[in-house]
Every structure is written in structure tokens, then in C-alpha cells.
Structure 1
């Protein structure tokens, strides 16, 4: 179904003001938990109300997290860039531009909502666009009462299905260590994660080994070993759900689940 059929809904100008369109989901098989059997992106040239896209506020984009309401997302990202409304709609789509490599990369960003209309899954086209949000360590905003948290993309640290740090990975961890060595803190918690590919027991071990490898590299870079706790949680805490049938596409989509979270607990 082409999104151009949304012409039967409110006019675009009115929809932009009221955000109360009646668009039909493009993605197939969206369940009550906000996951789709097949994620389908709309056509920018044919269907976008803002085909040129926008350069998003990266700090705002990094704040997007599961469980957010549409009002919260609208405050962070603005209105969707297709004829999608606020009421009765299970997905929102955006066109974002990023400056990279001396040029501009155009990316599509999709949010899928659960039956309570809370955002639960997030998708990029192409999948590599997700990496444009991350620097050496991506700060993840949290409530003031929680420990400051950073995220290290596992694929930037290790080869796929490996716990041996690559040279580039060691450089990333060294930069994180330099920041930690300038900060007053009580302890650092490393939490390793994997995607769902592979057996549960194997993934648990892999996540633990990867967290341990980051710990060893931090100690080597001067962070006190007694202040670092490393643990693995396998594939139990995914950030995205993917169902591509092509293995390469599935591996790329699941990349955000392969990560090491770093929580810095301040001195009390």
C-alpha cells in the first residue's frame, strides 16, 4: 500500500497543525509490543511532505528511547515528515540529513508504537545511518538521579562474533579512559550485550567476555581496576527487534543490540 493513499485524510496543512491524521501503517504485522514482522519505509520523493528533510538536533535525537509518548517525541523531533498523525497511528517517519565525510548523508528514521501508542522500536534506512549518531562514546541521557551512562557500539570495538578488541576499539576505550581519569567517581559498571543470533548460553558468555575485554583495556589505560565491575547480560535487553530474512540485513539491523553500556557512579 502506497502512503499516497493518505490523501483521503486531513489536508497536509491541517494535519501538520493538529497531528490527527488517519494514515495506514506501511510496515506489516505490527504487534501489540510495537514490533513489525516487516519494516517498510515510505517513498521520499512520492510521499514525503518534507522531502528535503531536516538536519536534526543530535542531542534531541539521542534522547529518543523506548516508552516515550508521541507528545514527548514531537517535542524532540518535530512533526513527522509524511502524512502521519497523532491519533490512531502506529508509526512515524522522518527524513534526516547528516553531515559526514565532507558531504551530506540522507537517512530515513522510523518509530513504531505499541498498542498504547508508546514508541518501542526504531529503524534506520540505510541501517548504517544509525552509526552517524555515535561518536567514540555516545552519551545516553538519563535522569539526574541515575548514574551517567555511555554506550560503546560493539561493532566499533570487536569483529562480529568476537571478544578481541580491534586496534580502533582500543583507541575508543582509551579515549573513554581519558575522560574517566578526569572525573571524580565511585565505580564504573560495564554491561555487555549481544544480539539474539546464537544460543543463549553462548551469547551470555560472549557478552561477559566483551565487557571483560573493555575492563582490561580501561585498566591498561590507567583506570583503577578496583573501581570497575564488568558483567554480561547476553541478548536479554535488546534495543531493537528485527525480522529480516536476509542474514546480512538481519545482522546489520541488530547492530544496536551489540553494545557495551558504561555506567559511571558518582562519588556520594
Structure 2
């Protein structure tokens, strides 16, 4: 009887105070428990709408009601961190991304901060908002090709020397398609865009320089330079907004669709 009672007390102590729970590191950065130490052998498919409601100041009871108990043997009551393992469906063929999520509580057991172990997972839980193109803009556009600046140029690059090999190949393919499918084109407009990070002046100059580099490569592919004009719009007409995305590296990745070069055939 005493042995059984002792085992019960030890188990209860783990539930209340936590057993080997991972928490903040020495510099305050989050540390995550090993994935295979979770009692969840597979990640849980969380209700994303519930997950998005979690924010600072919420109680443990509110968290429990939204996404359930933590997925590691770290306790529930007298602990500062709850850790979870979530699965998200991505792409096709039932492909799944597994993500570790951590909630940090303050001295009053209220949510102080939340963290994702994998930066990409923050975007799976809060996908960027896609803004449809205004109807007046769509009406004046002909056929258009949108190329990611991240796939065309090295970081912060705009000159031809900064172009990636895959970026050059994209331009060659676009030029070939224009000559094949639009032999009677009236005009080609190459417009560069950036994300909202950086100053307006810097973004305007960077976007225009990239557009001019793309124009030069199109001309090299035997397209008529007199019919190709360029523009640099900086952070105008964003495709995504990413209003509440942090930290910086996650925000930078979220804003990637805005860093682009559009080639319009009129």
C-alpha cells in the first residue's frame, strides 16, 4: 500500500510541477523538448481558428479549452511552459508538416509569449492575407508573368552580376514564350516591386534597378528594346500584408511574394 501511494504521489508531482520540462534558455530564447519525448506519437491536427485566438494575457483554462493539454510530460499547473506538437496538411498527396509550438506563461499563469520551433510553421498557422488586384488595375493589364525577385537576384542585389543562374534561365524562357505566343505585341512593361522593409527611397531604387536589369536581358534575347519600358514601384500593390507576423526572419519570409518582377505583354 505504501509503495502504491508513493508511486501515486510521484506521478501527481509530475502533473503539478512538471518533469523535465523545457523552458527558456540562458539568454531568454525558447528551448524545445525533444520531439520523441512527447506522449503524442503523431502530431495533432489542431483547429487553426482556435490557435489564432491565442494571445497574451489568456489563462491556462482558456488555452486548455482552445487546444487541449500540453503534449509533453511537463505538468499543467505550476509550470511556465506548455509544449505541443501539431500537424498541418500541405500541398497534395496528404503531405504533412509537423511543428512544435510553445506557450510561455508569466508569474500569474497568463500567456506571456508563444513560439514556433520552425519559423515556417508560423506561416502555416497564420497564412498571409492575399489581396486581390483592384479591378481598374486588372482592366489595363494584358497577359502578365510574375517572377519572384528572390529567385532572380541574390539578397539585396539588382545588377546583372547579382542574378542567380536560375533567374537568368527564367528570363530566357519568358523571352522565348513572348516571341512564340505574342509575336505582334505592342509593348512590354517590366515592373519591379519590393516588400515594405527598408525606406521608401531605397525600395523604389532597388525595384527600378531590378526591372532595368530584366529589361536588358530581354533585349539580349532579341526582343525590341524600343517596346520595353520599366518601372519601379517599391512596396506598392503588396500581394500579402503579414500585419501581425513576427519575429523578423518569419516576417521576411512571409513578405516574399511582394518581392517580385512583373512582365506585362500589351
Q: What TM-score, normalized by structure 2, do the two folds share?
A: 0.50
Higher helix content, 1 or 2: 2
Bigger Rg, structure 1 or 2: 2
